[in-house]
Amino acid sequence: MSQIRFDGKTAIVTGGGGGLGSAHAKLLASRGANVVVNDLGGDVTGHGKGSSMADKVVAEIRAAGGQAVASYDSVSDMAGAQAIVEQAKRAFGGVHILINNAGILRDTSFKNLGEDDWDAVFRVHVKGAFCMSKAVWENFREQNFGRIVMTSSAAGLYGNFGQANYSAAKMALVGFGQTLALEGAKNNVLTNVICPVAASRMTATILPPEQLAKLNPASVSAFAAYLCSAESKESGGVFEVGAGRYFHLKWGRSPGYRSPAPDGCPSVEEIREHFAQIKDLSQPQIIRGIAESLESFMS
């Protein structure tokens, strides 16, 4: 079996100082990639900053014979994102791979959720992914090669008690990633979305230690690395990954109900009478894109 390599490629991994990010960075470096390990060095809520987390990962990569530099800039504004990309260019001559992994938690029930906690989570997860993707986008297009991985979550797909801000932000990344996949296709800029299940500072708050011990981040990193490879042609995919399990998600919907009303406007009572049919997912239809979704209505 031929080995997938990243020689001559440069990867930026945000949130690369711990957990999933450090696992991604180390694996890519072990396969020949030059890696920019970006981490602001704050705590899991986004407070504080420091250089030790990124420095530690860089030291481990170099000790293993790999190439890496540390970055401490924030992803949540364009100035920081552009500084990270410029650092990659100065150190290694270019950039080819971006893994948007940086994130924070501000968990609380919705009744206690404040505007600051909402904004802070969106600023890192959503605006951070926007700023970083925007900062590499033209480079990727011009060189006719780019790989972007968005890090979403099962909380985004399904919701999770006490994580209204986090869940909303993570679902936003699904739509963002699928849109970039469409816009980057003609220039070989491929974007995919992963929803990891792995031990990290963030999952340590919601999973018991005995389960965390079995959720090695390296299980996720192998999948992310494949998506970042030149061999992969996948784009626009959404995947749940971790613990050695890998699942591809597509939106399925019920066959539905069509009102016979001439103007397409049923009564409220008609909706009541057919609500069970509308909800019936016993024979779901897989929808592959917005055109296919709209066709059901426009026809």
Shared domain for 242 and 258, answered yes or no, is: no
Instruction: Convert the pLDDT of each residue in 62-112 to its tens digit.
Output: 999 999 999 999 999 999 999 999 999 999 999 999 999 999 999 999 999
Q: Rounded mean pLDDT of 162-191?
A: 98
Shared domain for 189 and 279, answered yes or no, is: no
| DSSP secondary structure code for residue 20 in this structure | H
The Cα–Cα gap between 58 and 38 comes to 10
What domain count does the chain have?
2
Joined together, the tokens standing for residue 207 give: 């999973």
Shared domain for 71 and 135, answered yes or no, is: yes
HSE of 242, CA atoms in CB hemisphere, 13 A: 23
- Whether 222 and 27 have beta carbons less than 8 Å apart is answered as yes
Q: Please check whether residue 4 lies inside any domain of the structure.
A: no
Q: Rounded mean pLDDT of 225-254?
A: 96
Shared domain for 241 and 265, answered yes or no, is: no
Q: Please check whether residue 61 lies inside any domain of the structure.
A: yes
Shared domain for 160 and 229, answered yes or no, is: yes
Q: Please pick, among 72, 158, 166, 226, the residue that the annotation labels catalytic.
A: 166
Shared domain for 268 and 225, answered yes or no, is: no
Instruction: Convert the pLDDT of each residue in 16-26 to its tens digit.
Output: 999 999 999 99
Q: Is the pLDDT of residue 229 over 80?
A: yes
Shared domain for 94 and 43, answered yes or no, is: yes
Q: Rounded mean pLDDT of 207-231?
A: 86
Q: Rounded mean pLDDT of 166-193?
A: 98
Could you tell me how far CA 20 lies from the centroid of its own chain? 12
Shared domain for 197 and 234, answered yes or no, is: yes
Q: Please check whether residue 22 lies inside any domain of the structure.
A: yes
Q: Is the pLDDT of residue 272 over 60?
A: yes
Own/partner contacts of 59-65, CB < 8 Å, gap of 24 or more, are: 60/22, 60/26, 61/25, 61/26, 61/29, 61/35, 61/37, 64/26, 64/29, 64/30
Shared domain for 221 and 124, answered yes or no, is: yes
Q: Please check whether residue 110 lies inside any domain of the structure.
A: yes
Which of 100, 115, 266 has its CA nearest to residue 194? 100
Q: Is the pLDDT of residue 278 over 80?
A: yes
- pLDDT recorded at residue 43: 86
Instruction: Convert the pLDDT of each residue in 187-204 to its tens digit.
Output: 999 999 999 987 655 565
Q: How far, in Å, are 151, 193, 210, 214 from residue 160 at the CA level? A: 17, 19, 21, 22
- Reported as type and span, the H/E element at residue 82 is helix 78-92
The Cα–Cα gap between 179 and 134 comes to 13
Domain of 132 in residue numbering reads as: 10-249
Joined together, the tokens standing for residue 72 give: 């401490």
Instruction: Give, to the nearest 10 degrees, the angle between helix 19-30 and helix 217-228.
Output: 50
Instruction: Convert the pLDDT of each residue in 282-294 to its tens digit.
Output: 999 999 999 999 8
- pLDDT recorded at residue 208: 66
Segment among 132-136, 142-146, 215-219, 249-253 with least mean pLDDT? 215-219
HSE of 271, CA atoms in CB hemisphere, 13 A: 5
- pLDDT recorded at residue 78: 98
Shared domain for 190 and 151, answered yes or no, is: yes
Shared domain for 240 and 265, answered yes or no, is: no
Which of 273, 290, 11, 274 has its CA nearest to residue 140? 11
279: domain CATH number is: 1.10.287
Q: Please check whether residue 1 lies inside any domain of the structure.
A: no
pLDDT band per the 50, 70, 90 thresholds, residue 260 = very high
- pLDDT recorded at residue 299: 76
Q: Is 166 a catalytic site residue?
A: yes
- pLDDT recorded at residue 223: 97
Shared domain for 93 and 158, answered yes or no, is: yes
Q: How far, in Å, are 31, 127, 131, 175, 231 from residue 103 at the CA level? A: 25, 11, 14, 17, 28
pTM of the predicted structure, to 2 decimals: 0.94
Instruction: Convert the pLDDT of each residue in 36-74 to its tens digit.
Output: 999 999 888 888 888 999 999 999 999 999 999 999 999
pLDDT band per the 50, 70, 90 thresholds, residue 1 = confident
Work out the end-to-end distance of the chain between its first and last CA atoms, rounded to an integer number of angstroms.
48
Q: Please check whether residue 136 lies inside any domain of the structure.
A: yes
87: domain CATH number is: 3.40.50.720
- pLDDT recorded at residue 198: 76
Q: Please check whether residue 114 lies inside any domain of the structure.
A: yes
Q: Please check whether residue 3 lies inside any domain of the structure.
A: no
